[in-house]
Amino acid sequence: MSAQKTPAARGNGRFALLVAVLAVSVVASTWLAVSIGAVHVALPQAWAIVADRLVPGLVPRTWTPVHEQIVWQFRLPRALLALLVGAGLAVVGAVLQALVRNPLADPFLLGISSGASFGAVVVFIMGASALGGLSLSAAAFAGALLALALVYVLAQRSGRLTPSRLVLAGVALAYLFQAAYSFVLQQAQSGRAAQQVLFWLMGSLGGARWEMLPLPSVVLAAGLTYLLLQHRPLNALSAGEETAVSLGVNVHRLRITLFVLTSLLVGVLVATSGAVAFVGLIVPHAARLLVGADHRRMLPVTALLGAAFLQLVDVAARMVVAPQELALSIVTALFGVPFFLWLLRRRSVDRAVTVT
């Protein structure tokens, strides 16, 4: 037994390799995203432009100012936002799946995305004054938090939270919030604004600018750090509430923290890019297939996988019907729905759903 490597040690090499491969794909897909578009910028040139911006004078200038503007002002912030949104939504999905012990949980299922969209739509259509001067991000966050708080209260029964009630309450509230923002949209004065909002609701990174990046970066970095530090309580919680309690986890406090954290993340991300569907559902499952359920490994893999996935999705969204763009949710659904159906056919899901 002692000469043999322990299971944890056996997995470490594989995990490190996987993280390295994923990190390379994140960089590669971003590079691709910066190069591809209506105006093609050769890969080496795209690289040179970015390098020159980071360290001026590092490479001889061989590009036109137009190319520089396209790469630096439009494509790079958009590509970086894609990484943040992909990683963030995927991590939120992973946390929610642990929280409600339901493999089908994602920000949509629990009404959080709809709540965030509602907040954003109100500010979008009716102006910031409608919600007392809240910014778009703040309104989306408030909407997300409101949705989660309502779900949380509705799903409680004598102080206990059952996953099945949580999901049912979430689904019901998602419809309510959708009805609410549809109403606001219908009442909108300008049909054009309404159409813009509808497109944005289905997910679009078209509005990405540099100044949109710091807030989601900080929230995601802080959230991910916290979650990684809490990987053991998270594992215990995903094994069941009573198990977590018997292992010394303050379940009530952990749940509240996770609720606030996920709504903060969803709010911030929805404010930048609308509600992108399916990333939060499928990416955590893919990560679990690769490294198992232990959050210490699963969370970093989920984040990297989500980032690379949404980057490629955005490239596809820009390219497929160029010069028009597809909404991101259309592309993610194209991958997401088959994956979802495949997931439904797996035996373990059947069991998990009936248990909850």
Partner 1 sequence: MRLDVAGVSVSLDGRPIVHEADLRVDDREFVALVGPNGCGKSTLLRTIYRALRPSAGLISVDGDDVHRLPWRESARRTAVVAQETPAELDFTVWEVVLMGRTPYGRDAAADEERCARALDRVGLAGAEDRVYATLSGGEKQRALIARALVQETRLLLLDEPTSNLDVRHQLEILHLARELGVATLAVLHDLNQAAAFCDRLYVMSSGRIVAGGPPGEVLTPELISQVYGVRAVRRTQLVFERLKDESEP
Nearer to partner 1, 52 or 241 (CB): 241
Smallest separation (angstroms) from partner 1 to the CB of 306: 18
- Can you give the binding site for partner 1, defined by CB under 8 A? 1, 6-10, 97-98, 101, 103, 157-159, 232-233, 235-236, 238-243, 245-250, 288, 292-294, 348, 351-352, 355
Nearer to partner 1, 130 or 352 (CB): 352
Nearer to partner 1, 95 or 145 (CB): 95
Residue 90's identity, in one-letter code, is: A
Triad 244, 278, 325: Cα angle to 5°: 155
- Provide the 3-class DSSP secondary structure of residue 62: coil
Nearest Cα neighbor of 280 from 326, 329, 353 is 329
Nearer to partner 1, 249 or 303 (CB): 249
DSSP-derived secondary structure for 136-184 = HHHHHHHHHHHHHHHHHHHHEETTEE-HHHHHHHHHHHHHHHHHHHHHH
Rounded Cα gap, residues 195 and 173, in angstroms: 24
- Provide the 3-class DSSP secondary structure of residue 206: coil
Rounded Cα gap, residues 224 and 151, in angstroms: 24
Nearer to partner 1, 126 or 239 (CB): 239
Rounded Cα gap, residues 62 and 60, in angstroms: 6
Nearer to partner 1, 67 or 297 (CB): 297
